[in-house]
Chain A
Amino acid sequence: MFANILFSVSSLLVISSCILMMWTKNLMHSCVYLLGVLIGVAGLYLTLGADFVAATQIMVYVGGVVILMLFAVMLTGGKDYQSQTQKILNLFPSMGNKYTFMWGVGVAFVFGCTLIYFFRNLFSVIKVIESDDSYTPTIERLGELLVTDHLVAFEISSVLLLGALVGAAIIARPRKERPAFIDDIVDDHHHDEEHH
């Protein structure tokens, strides 16, 4: 019963935030709607009995990625680069322009139809387990799995995170102008060479 209510609230939050995120004109609002999507997905994880994944989702995404996105929006101006207003654009103000909007909806329509077609045949292929709603904590078992079966992937992900951190710091660093005294030193050196 509780799982049903949580599922309804979370899926409603996810779907409405998704559509608003697609619809809105303001990039800052779009980031805030992404917050709603991520919290809703964490609620869906809870209904699936994945407590540790839900907690990680809240901590990493809501506490880290969205804040990073908001900082990037604020540092780069936050404009959504509207094209000139056309009739379709007034109806759907968030989109780039008429052509990109049409491409997006067309591709999404094709993908949606394909996915629904697969859903139709899915349940004859996969035997769905009728599990009960009893809740068992997963953290202990997940910890064992991470250091036994999935140890290599665990270590590689730590190397990946280190590389991403160093790479991000190096890429975003502002290029320094060469200080003036170095130019003087280089000029003196050339001057000496010419004398000899």
Chain B
Amino acid sequence: MISLKAYLFVSMILMVTGLVVMISRKNIVAILLGIELILNSAALNFVAYSKYAANNLDGHIFSLFIIVIAAAEAAVGLAIVIRFFQVKETIHIDEASELREELTR
């Protein structure tokens, strides 16, 4: 029988690589890919705990809702990315600086 620790380890790898992708990439679509990784690690943890620690199906329900919310987030995020590309003709994250206050030195 597989232990809970193994699932938590895989989930930790997913979370950490998602963080690295989110922080170090400069492309907005790549940042959305990192968010998908982190959401998957959370959903995997829910299902693993619902088998090993609670023994009911509430974790499965939460995992389903995470999948629904990830789909909605991907649709809206990619719409924003495409609109941003129409306006700026690039999807570099550093170009999205309209709301940033100019630093006066």
Give the interface size bracket for B toward A: 35 or more
A133:B1 contact, CB within 8 angstroms: yes
Of the candidates B26, B71, B73, the one whose C-beta lies within 8 Å of that of A100 is B26
Asked if B68 is at the interface of the complex by the 8 Å CB criterion, the answer is: yes
Shortest Cβ gap from B33 to chain A (Å): 6
Q: Is the interface of A mostly helix, strand, loop or mixed?
A: helix
Summarize B's interface: helix, strand, loop or mixed: helix
Q: What residues on A are CB-neighbors of B70 within 8 Å?
A: 60-61, 65
Q: Which residues of B contact A157 (CB under 8 A)?
A: 65, 68-69
**Of listed A47, A129, A164, residue having the most chain B CB within 10 A:** A164
A11 to B44, CA, bound (A): 12
Task: Specify which chain A residues have a CB less than 8 angstroms from the CB of B9 in the assembled complex.
Answer: 119
Contact present for A60 and B67 (CB under 8 Å): yes
In contact, B76 and A164 (Cβ under 8 angstroms) = yes
B85 to chain A, nearest CB (A): 5
- A104 in contact with B40 given A76-B29, A97-B26 (CB within 8 Å): no
Question: A37-B37, A133-B1 known; A48 and B29 CB under 8 Å?
Answer: no
The interface residues of chain B lying within 8 Å CB-to-CB of A44 are 7, 10, 44
A contacts with B, residue count (CB < 8 A): 88
Residues from chain A with a CB closer than 8 A to the CB of B10 are 11, 14-15, 44
Q: Which residues of A contact B13 (CB under 8 A)?
A: 14-15, 18
Assembly CA distance A27 to B47 (angstroms): 30
CB proximity of A109 to chain B, nearest CB, Å? 8
Enumerate 26 A-B pairs (CB-CB under 8 Å) in ascending A order.
A3-B2, A18-B14, A27-B29, A38-B40, A47-B2, A50-B51, A50-B60, A53-B47, A56-B67, A60-B67, A60-B68, A60-B71, A61-B70, A69-B33, A72-B82, A103-B23, A111-B16, A119-B12, A126-B52, A127-B53, A129-B55, A138-B57, A161-B68, A164-B75, A164-B76, A172-B83
Report A's interface with B, CB cutoff 8 A: 3-4, 7, 11, 14-15, 18-19, 21-22, 27, 30-31, 34, 37-38, 41, 44-45, 47-50, 52-53, 56-57, 60-61, 64-65, 68-69, 71-73, 75-77, 79-81, 83, 94-97, 100-101, 103-105, 107-108, 111-112, 115-116, 119, 122-123, 126-133, 138, 141-142, 145-146, 150, 153, 157, 160-161, 163-165, 167-169, 171-172, 174
User: Which residue numbers of B lie inside 8 Å of A, CB to CB?
Assistant: 1-10, 12-17, 19-27, 29-30, 32-33, 36-37, 40, 43-44, 47-48, 51-53, 55, 57-58, 60-61, 63-65, 67-76, 78-83, 85-86, 90-92
Given contacts A48-B7, A131-B1, list 10 more A-B pairs with CB under 8 A: A14-B10, A27-B30, A64-B74, A68-B78, A96-B26, A105-B20, A115-B12, A129-B52, A142-B60, A168-B75
